[in-house]
Chain A
Amino acid sequence: MTDPMIRLDGATKTFPGTSTPAVDALSLEVPTGEIVVFVGPSGCGKTTTLKMINRIIEPTGGTITVDGVDVRDREPHLLRRDIGYVIQQIGLFPHRTIAQNVATVPRLLGWDEDRTRARVDELLVTMGLDEELGARYPAELSGGQRQRVGVARALAADPPVLLMDEPFGAVDPIVRGRLQVELLDLQARLRKTIVFVTHDIDEAIHLGDRIAILNVGGHLEQYAPPEDILREPATPFVEEFLGPERGLKRLALRTVADLGELGLGNCVQADASVEEAAQVAAEHQERWIGILDGDRLRGWAWVSDLDGARRAGDVETSLFRVALSAEDTLRAALDGLVRSRTGVAVVLGPDQRYDGMITLARLNQAMVS
């Protein structure tokens, strides 16, 4: 394993005039190129920990290194230019245009005009912001757009490390979901080392390669990939913090594609004989049968309706109302399965090609393995 990008070793902060530390001897390592999410109840020290990394808050004990260098050995303002920083309130400069806002750190670093302008244009595109927005002032943008500008500004000088303190906390759930997906897309390309603070466990599960669950005083309750935390919460605190529906949350971490080959399922071709259809249905212990036209799924019919027909395809079929694709989560699959009359969720590939069906048994098997 390569060296961790960020290492906290007994990091401690006792604020002046307080007796108990806000963060007490916290040790953890953030691997290079991963998203680590700090999550925990309000006041547990997430923000304090984050701000100790870029010395907005000076630690009162322990050591913090970024890229192998003790942060105390660097001038704070120089250290910070190498670390992207996004806060919940965003803090865009109201008197500067969007383009100027994004150009902040390049300007501080003394980049020349052309390079800065090219970088700003590139980032606006990356963040899905219209070029014409560059000339506007922050007050003339929507909340979601401002949030994107905040991220673009943090990425401007291409820092290897990004600190994000509840960056999507102030936008509505729909926009937040979209921003989360965008962040993951971005991360797939950029491979930054990201420390992300939230108090929303679902956001943590969705984004984190690893999750650090903190308790009051910056006490680390568990530090592991989301899958592990959901499967095996280390402490009662973690279990309670994860809340109900842990199983569903685990399902949300996996996709239909993770199930691998699904097989034909309870289906026959339209030209199969009625006897064959009845036999396939019996094998699957179902009273219905799916009817295929080659690699297309025509629909399904009750086995009892086949009486008197010659071929399985001769009777009228009902449509499967819920179809999934490979990138849907297993949680969506379960939802589809529950909503369908046949008790299965159909998976379609490109061009509506039939890829198989998911049963409850199949889901179960995936989760215990």
Chain B
Amino acid sequence: MASFDSINYSLRPSKSVQRGLVFDGLRKLSNALDLSNAVYIGFGSIWFTDFVLAHKTLNIDDMVSIEANEIGFKRAQFNKSYRTITMMQGMSQDKLPEVLSMPGYLNRPWIVWLDYDSALNEGVVQDFQWTLNNAPPNSVLLFTFSATQNAYGDKPVQRPERLRSLLGDVVPDDLSKEDCSKENLPSVLAKLAMDYLKSEVADLARPGGLIEAFRVPYFDSVGMVTVGAVLPAVGAVPAARAVVSTGDWKCLVDEVIHAPQLTLREIAALQSELPPVGAITRTRVQELGFDLQDEQIQSFQKYYKYLPSFAEVVV
């Protein structure tokens, strides 16, 4: 387990930060809403990283992992980390409805994290709708998708129209091609996807409504976006709102997280600066003998605790 964690860490540090933030948030929500009885639904892939976290930090036993790829599915069955994980083979659009017939699952909250490696597309939007429609009270929904600009049209002018065809009326008429540039698209997509979720819930008149809880744009070789929300039971609205509105809630992130890939030597050098007294500056990094971009330094010092194998690697 440590081995793939460290692979994740060195190759996909922003991904680790995002996962750390998400589970930090889920843990707080779980305490406030008592989600230990929840069902976890996701794409476990062959690693089941999030499933392991769900089990260890949230005490969740019953989990569903969906995998479309035939070989991936075989490998997932071989690798699945717990007996209590149910594997489903197919696309999420086809398989999610089967969750409804799992005995008792409709009477328990769901934590659904659909961590797509693709961009937002018609299938993803269909999953938005389905989960908002069917998730029982006190469920938490999370969606991660790519914000690679070219996936929304090769030319910037094409992108607003593509987004309109995916998300419909929530997309403002004056969305510009600049809004859809490489730099801006992750935050714009995060906002529009969240606007879509809110609007759907309003249209469905879900009794407890929706509470925006997760917005994490990050850069993981390509721009990625995680958005998520709580669908509280009517009685749990104040409790859920309280969790999300404390200063302690870190999952509504405005800037794009850019955690740097670091070598063991660089980590060792930076280690001596932690926890930081004031901001670590670029000059300081240069004094340590190497160099990083400003946003990488910022993300590092803000989120180094969420690089899960940091301690392990250094030890």
A and B associate in one complex? no
Q: Using a CB–CB distance below 8 Å, which chain B residues touch chain A? A: none
